[in-house]
Amino acid sequence: MKGVVDPIEFGLEPTVDELAPILRRLRRDLREAARSLGRAEARYLVDTYYQVQDYRKRAWLQHGALTKAGEPAAMTAWVGETMHQVERVIAAALEEWGRTQPGAVWARQIVGIGPILAAGLAAHIDVSRQPTVGHLWAFAGLDPTRRWNPGEKRPWNNDLKVLCWKIGESFWITHRHPASYYGPLMERRKELEDERNERGLYRDQALEHAKRVAKDTDAYTYYSQGKLPPAHIHARARRWVVKLFLAHYWEHERRRLGLAVPLPYPVAYLGHPKEDLIPPAL
């Protein structure tokens, strides 16, 4: 894929072609077990996959540092390779399970959504429990009005929130792919956010942030001038495109299950035209 960086370096998910030989080597009983995973076990495997991925990255970084220093590094290389094999087998199992989940099958057709992200969506999201897309956004930690106060239970699913962050970054990494749908939308949203930032529309918000960050940071330099820093602009665009994608996922699954799909709040209650709605990728 032209313009896309090394998948190992940036933690992109394995492709179908990469997983195919591993799937073929999986024992028949393991393949059957993968197909019959429950949602709880699938959630566990998604979480484990990312933990193992982190261990593999750390081992390979350590191996590189030791090798550069002329130190023995055979065991760190072995740890890294072992973690890599475990990572790939878990990915293959989740790929197999995802084939049995209609939501995951739909999501896998979208550039930027690999087998782990698709499986994570199917494992975490039950649209029958979310009568509006706003309920899903809140569950995924994408409702900025929700606060987690001391002593209270976290009001969102943190694993899903992390998964959504990964989805947004994957859309951005693949946004120049010719078949990408959500990546270019994120790019245009960043341009809009930049324009609004330059016009001073986020000045009050920026000055509030300036009170909460260290004064020796680059972020403070921006905030103190009434501007959001580039990372903040990127985060706003990422959150916007992920909410859009989740809305499309929610709508697809609700329609598949024969459940009601109410119009978004701005259209239903604030008079926004239906023509303003961005259609799903598929």
pLDDT of residue 21: 66
Q: Where does residue 161 rank: exposed (0-12), middle (13-18), buried (19+ CB within 10 A)?
A: middle
pLDDT band with cut points at 50, 70 and 90 for residue 4: very low
pLDDT of residue 29: 75
Mean pLDDT, range 224-248, rounded to an integer: 97
pLDDT of residue 31: 78
Composition of the chain by helix, strand, coil, percent to 5:
65, 0, 35
Q: Which residue, among 136, 145, 105, 125, has the nearest Cα to 247 in the 3D structure?
A: 136
What whole-number distance in Å separates Cα of residue 25 and Cα of residue 23? 5
pLDDT band with cut points at 50, 70 and 90 for residue 263: confident
Q: Which residue, among 168, 193, 176, has the nearest Cα to 243 in the 3D structure?
A: 168
How far the first Cα of the chain sits from its last, in Å, is 21
Q: Is the pLDDT of residue 1 over 70?
A: no
Q: At what angle do helices 39-68 and 74-98 cross, to 10 degrees?
A: 150
What whole-number distance in Å separates Cα of residue 277 and Cα of residue 272? 9
Mean pLDDT, range 117-140, rounded to an integer: 97
Taking every pair of Cα atoms in the chain, the longest distance, rounded to a whole number of angstroms, is 68
Domain boundaries, the chain: 1-100, 125-282
In tens, the pLDDT along 11-50 reads: 457 665 665 666 566 667 777 888 999 999 999 999 999 9
What whole-number distance in Å separates Cα of residue 132 and Cα of residue 254? 10
pTM for the model: 0.88
What whole-number distance in Å separates Cα of residue 207 and Cα of residue 216? 15
In whole numbers, what is the pLDDT of the chain averaged over residues?
90
- SS3 state at 212: coil
In tens, the pLDDT along 43-100 reads: 999 999 999 999 999 999 999 999 999 999 999 999 999 899 889 889 989 999 999 9
User: Mean pLDDT lowest for which of 157-161, 186-190, 219-223, 267-271?
Assistant: 267-271
pLDDT band with cut points at 50, 70 and 90 for residue 5: very low
In tens, the pLDDT along 159-206 reads: 999 999 999 999 999 999 999 999 999 999 999 999 999 999 999 999
Cβ neighbours of 42 (radius 10 Å):
22
Region label for 263, one of left (φ > 0), alpha (ψ between -120 and 50) or beta (otherwise) = beta
Q: Is the pLDDT of residue 9 over 70?
A: no
User: What are the residue ranges of helices labelled H in 2-113?
Assistant: 7-10, 16-25, 28-35, 39-68, 74-98, 102-108
